[in-house]
Structure 1
Amino acid sequence: MATAKRRHDPDRKDRIIEATLEVIAVHGVSGTTHRRVAEAADVPLGSMTYHFAGIDDLVQQAFSKLTAEIAVQFDAVLGNARTVDDARETVVGIICDGFLNDRHTTLALELYAYVARVPDARRLTTDWMAECRKALERHFTPEIAIGLDALIEGASLHNYMNPGLVGADAVRSMVARLTT
């Protein structure tokens, strides 16, 4: 009797995590199921329980990947600033030029709602915010970095919901007040 040969698929877990982000972006966390993710990742449904302890584990690993990617991008953008004035203008650009694409913003909003409902997952946002503040602290004091981080999140959200609401001149003025 012949046995079925196992398929070698070393990227399966990563593919599932990426598919989870796609499913969340389309259906929200509440509409994310093992079945939808398995279908999107083109893997057998059994792979879900093999790689993840449950749906919360799957969602949290996906959000962890998302926040790590965004933090790396944020750090790279701020790393290009050579002076404090460059860093100020970089912050203006982050807010006004749509640093996050629509998919990332949608996923970030889903993450915020998720951690509001699953307090044990708050480390996802606290770790992410800490990484962003660390990037800001290359150019600003920790106290100023906290204020800038809050401004970036709030003003970016306002501009996402109402494009152009918080214009570059207004942001530039706010950043100047926070950083001088």
Structure 2
Amino acid sequence: MRRTDPERRDRIVDSVLDVIAEHGTAGATYRTVAEAADVPLGSMTYHFPTRDDMLLAAFTRLADTMHARFDRVLAELPEGTDPREGVVQIVVAEGVEHRRDMVLNTELWALAVRDERYRELVQHWMHRSRTSLERWFPAELTPMIDALLEGLVLHSWISVEPFDPDRVRAAVRRLTGPLEGFS
């Protein structure tokens, strides 16, 4: 009787992200991922014909997960809340709580600089983020807010200075200027 494992592909994708977080993209081989996912090596090529297919699936999962978190913060802002506080909340959470995702994100950016497929993935992710921001901000401002978010989160992880939410708040307010209905 053939053994079924309907969650195998998802387990592999999760394991790819775990391996990348620990060893970098270069360390994510079929063999290391199969071992981490506790699957036969043959399952790797069955689900992912190429190593690149495997990496792209994992980074797509990362982008989806991170965007869902981003979108949820903005979507769940209570009525009357200054939307700039949502942006600050995202930067603070990503800059303090999600180190693993920051490591994975920088691996993705490095691939995106070199490879069009990953650049397209990042572009799609940025488009979704900007669409989420457009709930509260003018469309022409959202690319700048998105870039500020990315830069502030990255700086929060690599800076030797303590993380300062008030400095984040000041940067967001300076970039956005006054918003109608909020001071």
Alignment TM-score, normalising by the size of structure 1: 0.90
Task: Give the secondary-structure state (helix, strand or coil) at the position aligned to 2:82.
Answer: helix
State how far apart, in whole Å, the 2-side matches of 1:86 and 1:19 are.
39
Q: Which residue of 2 aligns with 1:114?
A: 111
Please give the alpha-carbon distance, in whole angstroms, between the structure 2 residues aligned to 1:84 and 1:91: 15
| CA distance in structure 1 between the aligned counterparts of 2:113 and 2:92, rounded to whole angstroms | 27
CA RMSD of the aligned region, Å?
A: 1.7
1:25 maps to what in 2? 21
Report the Cα offset of residue 132 of structure 1.
1.0
Where does 1:83-122 land on structure 2 (aligned, <5 Å)? 85-98=81-94, 101-122=98-119
**Identity across matched positions, percent:** 44
Cα distance in 1 for residues equivalent to 2:43 and 2:80: 49
Indicate conservation of the 8 Å contact 2:108/2:118, yes or no: no
Aligned to 1:157: 154
Higher deviation after alignment, 11-20 or 99-108: 99-108
C-alpha displacement of 1:163: 5.9
**What residue number does 2:173 align with?**
176
2:181 alignment partner in structure 1? none
Please state if 1:40 is matched with 2:31: no
Deviations 1:24-79 (A, max 9, x none): 11111111100000011111000011111200000000000110011111100111
Q: What TM-score comes out, normalization by structure 2 length?
A: 0.89
User: How many correspondences in the alignment?
Assistant: 176
Q: Is the 8 A contact 1:83 1:139 kept in 2?
A: no
Residues 87 and 139 of structure 1 are in contact (CA less than 8 Å); yes or no, is this contact kept in structure 2? yes
Q: In 2, Cα distance between the equivalents of 1:78 and 1:172?
A: 16
Give me the whole-angstrom Cα distance separating, in 2, the residues matched to 1:109 and 1:175. 22
The structural deviation recorded for 1:167 is: 2.3
Residue of 126, 129, 132 corresponding to 1:129: 126
Unaligned runs of 5+ in 1: none
- Further displaced range: 158-167 or 33-42: 158-167
Q: Unaligned regions of 5+ residues in structure 2, if any? A: 178-183
The one-letter code sitting in structure 1 at the alignment partner of 2:153 is S
Among residues 26, 45, 55, which one is paired with 1:49 in the alignment?
A: 45
CA-to-aligned-CA distance 1:103-147 (integer Å, 9 cap, x gap):
100000110011122223211111111111111111001111111
Contact 1:115-1:121 at 8 Å conserved across structures:
yes
Q: Distance in 1 between matches of 2:154 and 2:173?
A: 20
Aligned-partner Cα distance in 2 for 1:31–1:140: 40
Change (3 A) 1:122 1:98: closer
